[in-house]
Structure 1
Amino acid sequence: MSKHHIECPCGSHKPLAECCKPIHLNHASATHPEQLMRARYSAHVLGLVDFVVQTYHSSCEAEHHREAIAESINLTWLGLEVMNSEIAANGQGFVEFKAGYKEAGEEYILQERSRFVQESINGQQYWFYIDGEYPQPPPSEQPSAPKPVTATKTIGRNDPCLCGSGKKSKKCCG
């Protein structure tokens, strides 16, 4: 792609200007939770702390955790793979994804099933990230199964939440 058509970091293979940038400029542009999740990932890559903070649900009190969120944004993000996304019958949105990142020279994969809720504000509908679940790795059926290239960082319920809020995982996204 040319200099004027930068590919969106979210992995859509679309130009940034036609993918996540409109959502970064107007959060209500995300009409599906997957769009917001992709825009949040792109915001991490692009260093858009304000966007990430603003797209947390108000119950997360993300503004109080701005510094920790900024630290998570400053990681080296390596790529995004969306495995599943849906809007459930109760209106909540779910997006399961894997995001690779590098911290202190080590590569990790964050796998999460994120939950999103939609709220009407001044007549416009907005999706907000509220929390997520970290799936347990499946039991290995074969002891000699090939190992993934990157390690999976397992987050315990008492570990700091990966979203950067500074809260324990069980009290935040876990």
Structure 2
Amino acid sequence: MVGVADADARCPCGSGGSYAACCEPLHDGRETAATAERLMRSRYAAYALGRSAYVFRTWHPRTRPADVEPVPGLVWTGLTVQDVVGGGADDAEGTVEFEAAFVTGEGPDVLHERSRFVRRGDRWVYVDGDTNTP
């Protein structure tokens, strides 16, 4: 997990930038994601850092679960974006395909998901995704 108090810590979203300049402004509500990919990356970073309120807030109200608490013992270890279709600043919907590596007590694994996003008003929200793991 990235030390969020360290302004120079690399953002877990894989952008290469610091957390303070990358996903922290989105997590804190000071900015909104301009694209579906940016939202997806910021949601991954929120999962990696245990920022469940952000994950909940950026999930479409019709599809989000009642609870998005972190899975005990699960540690997110890396993100690779594989494909982006639509989801630009002027689009109404988009999809982002990615692989998110993680480790549990049972060992390492990878979540492969094709996520759907829609624009609600002036902000992107996650709708749902097709995955290879639960």
TM surpasses 0.5: yes
Q: How is 1:25-104 mapped onto 2 (pairs within 5 angstroms)?
A: 25-26=28-29, 29-62=32-65, 64=66, 66=67, 69-72=68-71, 75-87=74-86, 91-104=92-105
The separation in 2 between residues aligned to 1:43 and 1:73, in whole angstroms, is: 15
2:95 is aligned with what amino acid? Answer: F
Structure 2 gaps, min length 5: 1-5
Residue of structure 2 equivalent to 1:10: 13
| 1:25-70 superposed Cα distances (whole Å, 9 cap, x missing partner) | 22752010111111100001111011111111010143x1x1xx21
Query: Alpha-carbon deviation of 1:117?
Result: 0.5
1:70 is aligned with what amino acid? Answer: E
The separation in 2 between residues aligned to 1:20 and 1:94, in whole angstroms, is: 20
Q: TM-score, normalised by structure 2?
A: 0.84
The separation in 1 between residues aligned to 2:64 and 2:81, in whole angstroms, is: 26
The separation in 2 between residues aligned to 1:19 and 1:7, in whole angstroms, is: 9
| 1:151-170 superposed Cα distances (whole Å, 9 cap, x missing partner) | xxx44xxxxxx4xxxxxxxx
Superposition RMSD on alpha carbons, in Å? Answer: 2.1
The separation in 2 between residues aligned to 1:119 and 1:76, in whole angstroms, is: 30
Q: How is 1:109-120 mapped onto 2 (pairs within 5 angstroms)?
A: 109-120=110-121
Identical pairs, percent: 35
Bigger radius of gyration: 1
1:83 is aligned with what amino acid? Answer: Q
SS of residue paired to 1:35: helix
Q: TM-score, normalised by structure 1?
A: 0.66
Return 96-105 or 69-78, whichever deviates more: 69-78
2:129 is aligned with what amino acid? Answer: G
Relative contact order, CA 8 A, sep 6+: which one is greater?
A: 2
Q: How many residues align?
A: 127
| Poorly superposed stretches of 4+, deviation over 3 Å | 71-74
* Gap change, CA 1:35 and 1:56, over 3 Å in 2: same
Q: Quick check: which one's helix share is greater?
A: 1
Structure 1 gaps, min length 5: 135-153, 156-161, 163-174
Q: Quick check: which one's strand share is greater?
A: 2
